[in-house]
Amino acid sequence: MNAAAGLDLQSIPDRIQAEVQRAIQRSIKGVEYIASSGPSLGSTPKDILSVRGTMNLYHYRPLSDEIYRVPILIVMATTNRGYILDLVPGQSFIEFLLKRGYDVYMLDWTAPKPEEKSLRMEDYVLDFIPDCVRRVQQDSGEIDVTVIGYCFGGVLSLLYGSVFAGGPMKNLICFTTPVDFREMKLFQNFSDKRYFDVDKLIDSVGNVPPEMILSSFEMLRPASRAASQIQLWENIWNDEYVKSYRMFDRWATDTLPLAGEYFRAITKDLMWENKLYNDTMSVGGRPVDIAKITVPILHAVAEHDHIVPYDAAKPLIQKIGSTDKEEVMLKGGHVSLVAGANAIKRLWPKLDSWLGERST
């Protein structure tokens, strides 16, 4: 058979012309990419209620005439900045919540200073979060508070909810939150006590450098950065693709250092001894048992999460003491579950449906 028989020969000039034009656009857009700074992120109007050390508490200004009674406090992971939930208008989880009538607060983090290397797990669970909850209560005039925790922010929220099981947390929502740290396979390999001397590290450097944390995430998928840069060049003529790439790439590389003593506790208590899963965890001498948490809970997990595999997150709903509890698995990865086009279609409507009836 003639190999050319199936070709539309008349279309070849048009296809060549299209490829030439796309190559020209790549060159032009490549120069624009280098010369520009990318979209402004985290721009939803907000007020700063409190700044104390590494802790920042924001209150977002309402965008709806009618507001649900129960305010929301979002607890971010301590390695990442909160603007992943407030990218740009139309792609902001914060904006979505405000327009749906929720009263939204966020506990966000900044880099701990060298003198804050002694911050411990109990400083986060028994001080920072309760302080923010009290300020939310005072500012909103409500006793009840819904807590939303993302990734390790979910772990901190579980610890807080267990220690303060009597309230004032009314609802708990966790995104991609690990409980069984044995199933964090690659992180287990990185932190294997036979090879990783966490005491020597912390005693030597104080706070854990962000470069070390970023490298550990990138080693989960070693080729992903190179592959994403190739995809960027292939699509650099596409303004929407470039905008999305810049938003997520900026956030992914904007990693925070971790306070030394806090990281030591994470490594020993969670990664090595798996105390949260084994019900042997304590924070500041106060026992932690997530079976004590009885408030309504929603746990959203991602089908293709390479950072928190499903086996690490699965025990949360099994172990929690609530009778009103639900796990929802959605398509997406660790980040696309909560931000971007995938989240807009899947997670955000589900959360609104679940939380609305529990926020009155």
* Rounded distance between C-alpha atoms, residue 297 and residue 153, angstroms: 15
Average pLDDT of every residue of the chain:
87
Give all domains of the chain, ordered by start, each with its CATH number. Answer: 46-356 (3.40.50.1820)
- pLDDT at res. 340: 79
Amino acid letter, 358: R
- Give the rounded percent of residues in the chain with a pLDDT score beyond 90: 62
Instruction: Compute the distance between CA of residue 358 and CA of residue 106 in angstroms, rounded to an integer.
Output: 19
pLDDT of residue 126: 97
Residue range 79-130, pLDDT digits in tens: 988 888 998 888 899 999 999 999 999 999 999 999 999 999 999 999 999 9
Cα 93 from Cα 30, distance rounded (Å): 30
Is there a contact between 53 and 207 (Cβ–Cβ < 8 Å)?
no
C-alpha distances (whole Å) from 187 to each of 96, 154, 166, 217, 308 are 33, 18, 34, 9, 10
Looking at the chain, how many residues does it have? 360
| pLDDT for 192 | 87
Q: What is the pLDDT of residue 292?
A: 96
Per-residue pLDDT, 2: 52
Q: Which residue has the tokens 């840069």?
A: 229
Confidence of residue 23 (pLDDT cuts 50, 70, 90): low
Per-residue pLDDT at 210:
79
What pLDDT sits at residue 332?
Answer: 85
With 0.75 as the threshold, say if the pTM is over it: yes
Q: What is the DSSP string of 290-341?
A: GGG--S-EEEEEETT-SSS-HHHHTHHHHH---SSEEEEEESS-TTTTTSSH
Pairwise pLDDT comparison (311 vs 339), residue with the higher score: 311
Structure confidence at residue 360 (pLDDT): 92
Query: pLDDT band at residue 237, thresholds of 50, 70 and 90?
Result: low
Q: Which two tokens stand for residue 341?
A: 């086009």
Alpha-carbon span 35 to 175, nearest angstrom: 36
CB count within 10 Å of CB 225 equals: 13
| pLDDT confidence bin for 350, thresholds 50/70/90 | very high
**Residue from 136, 132, 150, 50 nearest 94 by CA:** 150
Residue 197 three-state SS: coil
> Which strand (E) or helix (H) includes residue 106?
strand 104-109
Average pLDDT of the segment spanning 263-287: 96
Mean of the pLDDT values across residues 144-158?
A: 97
